[in-house]
Structure 1
Amino acid sequence: MKEAIKFSAVVLFIIAIFVGIMIWPLPGCIILVSLLLGLGFYDIIQKKHTILRNFPVIGHMRYLLEMIGPEINQYFVESGTDGKPIDRNHRSYIYQRAKEQRQTHPFGTELDVYNQNYKWMKHSIYPAKQLETPPRVIIGGTECKQPYSASLFNISAMSYGALSKNAIEALNLGAKAGNFFHDTGEGGISEYHRNGGNLVWEIGTGYFGCRTDGGNFDAEKFKEKANWDEVKMVEIKISQGAKPGHGGVLPAAKNNEEIAGIRGVRPHTDVISPPGHSAFNNAEGLLHFVQQLRELSDGKPVGFKLAIGSKEEFIEICEKIVETGIKPDFITVDGAEGGTGAAPIDFSNYVGMPWEDALIFVTDTLNKYDLKKDINVITATKIFTAFNIFKALCIGADICNSARGMMLALGCIQSLRCNTNECPTGVATNNPRLVKGLVVSEKWKRVKNYHDNTVEEFLKLLAASGCTSLDQLNRSFIFKKVDKQWRSYEEESATVTSI
């Protein structure tokens, strides 16, 4: 009703202006121009809406479409980053929690509950009392001198360069205020990362921020930055779900002098990371690299991130862990659904194991080798909602990261301009004209709100399941349709194992 009234008022106002112009052409035109100039000035100075700051006056068309209703809004602005849809329910969920708007939903579910891909959780008719304080997870094994207490929900890897300086700064301030971590992505640590938020420094194949002139790993440069107070953990990026087996890509249009200086590369050139690491080339080498980084960082947690391709290669890693006794503190599991600002379409669409299967395989393999109790598992693919977190923890993860969810909380509208340096919301661009539209002092609050409200909703789901602690969660709580019958993930895992 409220939206209908607002839309009707706008339409009537527009009609009144045109009628006035027809009756009194000159005065009407003067009034119209004055109103448009006034509106444009207001759009530029207001701080809440990036689209209006960057596109004064015409930016209101987006909000007019939203007023019409969800169907029109979905048709015009609904599409996913890297071409994979984020449905309206997830978009609305993120925006409502980021903006602390009404978080209830009318008229029942909009999901097709009989769809083959529908998942649901079982609840108890005797729900538990909701936890007052969100649980945290300690990451760090026996070789770790500085274990880290992590939130259940954190910012996944997104580099400065892929995202704007204002976006990075807002994410980091949000992480600081909400006491969750901010993964740097493989682009190195910039000054915009250093606003007090806890960092996970991701080391990719390009070794940005700790590389020699020839592009190899530089231990001394790594040691200096890894011992900064805000760096709480180190993550070796072996591969990511959006483009497994392919190096990262930073288009030349985004690679300005500042970003090139942080990464240690030439500016205004395409920066393409090698597909593999030069510091190691086998499972044992990976583990010795983990050990080296842990020693150089004075005992901070060190782990690695990968998308699963060859099961045999991950099994070999587990065998070498047992053989050498060198254990990573955590493993981050990415899935083929992972997003990115730029990836070859065949890699994005056809390479790598999907997220759920990868997470199940990794946790089951770690359990088989009696390693899961010592190694935390993080997952980082399409985590948007409290249910996504609940499902991931039931399947086997310990904590979750989100990239696209955090981008939407910042104001991303999924315009699919990530790889062009023309992102209209200032999130995924280094164009100064567009970046200035993203007001850090406003957007960090939305990042924190999204995190806090999502974790709060998770606690409600945990209570609804009848559980009072994370260690009570298991695969029996989540159901999916298999051969036209509902089966829990526990039943399905047993079936697959028996086969």
Structure 2
Amino acid sequence: MGIITGFFDFILSYLPGVILLIFVSGLILLYVSDRHQVDHTIRRNYPVVGRLRYMFEEMGVFFRQYFFAQDREEMPFNRADRTWVYQAAKQESTLQAFGSTRLQHEGDVLFANSVFPYTGNEEPQQQVFGPYCPNPYATDKVFHISGMSFGAISKPAVKALVAGAREAGIWINTGEGGASTEHLQGGADVVYQIGTAKYGVRNSDGSLSEEKLKVVAENSNVKMFEIKLSQGAKPGKGGILPADKVTAEIAAQRGIPEGKASISPPTHQEIQNYDDLYNFIRHVRLVTEKPVGIKLCVGNISEFREMLTALTSRASAAAADIADSQSKQSAFDDVINAYAPDFITLDGGNGGTGAAPMSLIDAAGMNLQESLPLVSNILTELNLKERIKLVASGKLITPVDVAWALCAGADVVTTARGFMFSLGCIQALQCHKNSCPTGITTHDKRLQAGLDPVNKSVRVAAYAKEMHKELETIAKSCGVSSPSKLSRKNALIYTSNQHAKPMDEVYR
């Protein structure tokens, strides 16, 4: 026993020296390495110490929101907006005291509260998508979950979102990755997105598979289909899923090789012009017998007008030789009902959840604040507003954002990043690196283990419910019975001279 005790005493007496020797030796090795390498000037000129620069650069992404950014200044989402989502999701009070911290800027919205706020209780208004389909879809909710692909986000995140959507009575969009088992069997209303690569409904050559599409459409949880033409994160470029996120399960679902980057083409091979687009919409609707819409980020409003004018021109041509005015109108309407999209999802050109080149995130596509009013105006001008529902999507995560969109012309609003915040996203900006610290956008099992789908599904539902509750508060303050009845007369917009003008004057 004495020998063992003596041995440990000997080790402990020399241990600090050994540790110090190892530490100093390590510093010397780093110094020599830094002085003789030629790839990094900072490390060569400032050996060892220069390495701290890279550490601070890496960690700064995580800590700037806590120590440096003010409540209303951080991008892409400020702390005040994120905090509201966190509180709503956790079912904490979203009330504030001591006045607003929001500075008014050009383009900001003010709601025109009425002298006589609405005090009644009215049943929510049903909105019907695809009324001319064999299986139209009706919802009384105006706030839903936008497209986030399984692959871009993790399986626990998908489970939580689907369960939360079911509880809140809202839809969830699959994103271009196709519908996972969780989507199809989770009991929530699902909008199946058909991206340019046709993941989940593709033939080996990348074209649309009618057989696979029919199988998906037979699932009662799938309510609508959305053909994605472009998205705000990378308008003009297809989806990007890095190779390390293409697991065996995701590869099988998408029909692509495991461990190889999933790069979607920039456009559908079946769609090369406007006629192709409307023929494709009609084809998908005939196969699925369910509402079919399109998603795009507008880059050129004149081109968008051309796209819709091509539809009305086709209808006019079909009715041109008919003399009777009633029959003429009927023929015109038949073409519109057969070929028009049942909804248009309008995405904002200021980025999204997916990986994308900075040049496209920063400088391609119109922001929703500019495009939404213009698109709504064109639909109204061409008498298509009643036929085509308008879905707004793009950085709309608070009641003020969503109510603005409803006033500006949207029928419903969807968000992806808002629901990511409800799952616990901390805006670490690691979505594309498979290293998301909250387990939302990673396939690292260790990081996913921190996201409990059951707990987070409650927060997803709570966020959606609180959103609808505050939208009703805004609507009734403006004197209307429900959010779906908000219009441009219920809002004001700040102009460049800091005067608030009626929205219908600004957006006319």
Is residue 474 of structure 2 the alignment partner of residue 492 of structure 1? no
C-alpha distance in structure 2 between counterparts of 1:459 and 1:88, whole Å: 24
The answer to whether residue 112 in structure 2 is matched with residue 122 in structure 1 is yes
Query: What fraction of aligned residue pairs are identical, expressed as a percent?
Result: 36
Equivalent in the alignment of 1:391: 404
Instruction: Check 1:72–1:174 CA distance in 2 against 1; reply closer, same or farther (3 A cut).
Output: closer
SS of residue matched to 1:336? coil
**Structure 1 residues 117 and 225, CA gap change in structure 2 (3 angstroms):** same
Structure 2 residue aligned with 1:300: 290
- 1:129-168 → structure 2 map (5 Å cutoff): 129=119, 131=121, 133-149=123-139, 151-168=141-158
Q: How far does residue 74 in structure 1 lie from its aligned partner after superposition? A: 5.8
Other structure's SS at 2:507 match: helix
For residue 131 of structure 1, report the CA deviation from its aligned partner.
Answer: 3.8
How far 1:440 moved relative to its partner? 0.6
Structure 2: gaps of 5 or more residues: 1-58, 316-334
Moved more, 270-279 or 463-472: 463-472
1:474 aligns with 2:474: no
Superimposed CA distance per residue, residues 321-355 of structure 1 (whole angstroms, 9 cap, x where no aligned partner) = 22242211111101112412310010111111110
Q: Which moved more, 1:465-474 or 1:188-197?
A: 465-474
Q: Output aligned runs, 1:404-483, within 5 Å.
A: 404-469=417-482, 472-483=485-496
2:269: which partner in 1? Answer: 278
Alpha-carbon spacing, 1:369–1:74, altered in 2? closer, same or farther (3 Å): farther
Q: Give the RMSD, CA atoms, in angstroms.
A: 2.2
Tell whether the 8 Å contact from 2:493 to 2:506 is kept in structure 1 after alignment: no
- Partners of 1:343 and 1:79 lie apart in 2 by 25
Alpha-carbon spacing, 1:463–1:79, altered in 2? closer, same or farther (3 Å) = closer
**How many Å apart are 1:478 and its aligned residue?**
2.1
Map 1:304-383 to 2 at 5 A. Answer: 304-322=294-312, 323-324=314-315, 325=335, 326-383=339-396
- Supply the distance in 2 between the matched residues of 1:486 and 1:259 (Cα, whole angstroms): 50
Separation (CA, whole Å) in 2 of partners of 1:144 and 1:381: 31
Residue 17 of structure 2 corresponds to which residue in structure 1? none
Q: Which one-letter code corresponds to 1:288 in the other structure?
A: N
Q: CA deviation at 1:309?
A: 1.4
Worse overlay, 477-486 or 343-352: 477-486
Q: State the shift of 1:464 in Å.
A: 0.3
Contact 2:72 2:80 in 1 (8 A): no
8 Å contact kept, 2:349–2:365: yes
How many residue pairs align between the two structures?
Answer: 423
Q: Tell me which residue corresponds to 1:46.
A: none
Contact preservation (8 Å) 2:374, 2:507? no
1:492 deviates by 1.3
TM-score (norm 1): 0.81
**Which SS does the other structure have where 1:160 is aligned?**
coil
Corresponding residue SS for 1:331: strand
Answering whether residue 86 of structure 2 is matched by residue 95 of structure 1, we say yes
Paired residue for 2:51? none
What 5-or-longer segments of structure 1 have no aligned partner?
A: 1-61, 495-499
Tell which deviates more after alignment, 466-475 or 159-168: 466-475
Tell me, yes or no, if the aligned pair for 1:479 and 1:488 is still in contact at 8 Å: yes
Structure 1 residues 367, 211: closer, same or farther in 2, change over 3 A? Answer: same
- 1:361 offset after TM fit, Å? 1.6
| 1:470 shift after superposition | 5.1
Shift in Å, 1:428 = 0.6
1:228 counterpart residue number? 219
Structure 1 contact 78–86 (Cα < 8 Å) conserved: no
The residue correspondences of 1:163-182 to structure 2 (distance < 5 A) are 163-182=153-172
Distance in 2 (CA, whole Å) between partners of 1:428 and 1:120 is 35
Q: Which residue of 2 aligns with 1:75?
A: 68
Structure 1 distance, partners of 2:172, 2:344, is 16
SS in 2 for 1:228: coil
Q: After superposition, give the CA deviation of every residue in 1:56-79 in whole Å (9 maximum; x if it has no partner).
A: xxxxxx9xx99xxxx983637989
Q: Contact conserved, 2:118 with 2:479, CA < 8 A, in 1?
A: yes
Amino acid at match of 2:399: A
Per-residue CA distance 1:78-113 (angstroms, 9 max, x = gap): 899xx9421111111101100001221122111113
Distance in 1 separating the partners of 2:484 and 2:190 = 26
After superposition, the C-alpha distances for 1:178-230 in whole angstroms (9 at most, x for unaligned) are: 11000000001111213111100000001000111122211111111122111
Deviation per residue, 1:161-190 (Å, 9 max, x gap) = 000000001000001111100000000111
Q: CA deviation at 1:146?
A: 2.8
* Cα pair 1:130 1:468 within 8 Å, conserved: yes
Which has the larger Rg? 2
8 Å CA contact 2:232–2:349 kept in 1: the answer is: yes
- Alpha-carbon separation, structure 1, partners of 2:72 and 2:438: 15
Letter in 1 for 2:507: S
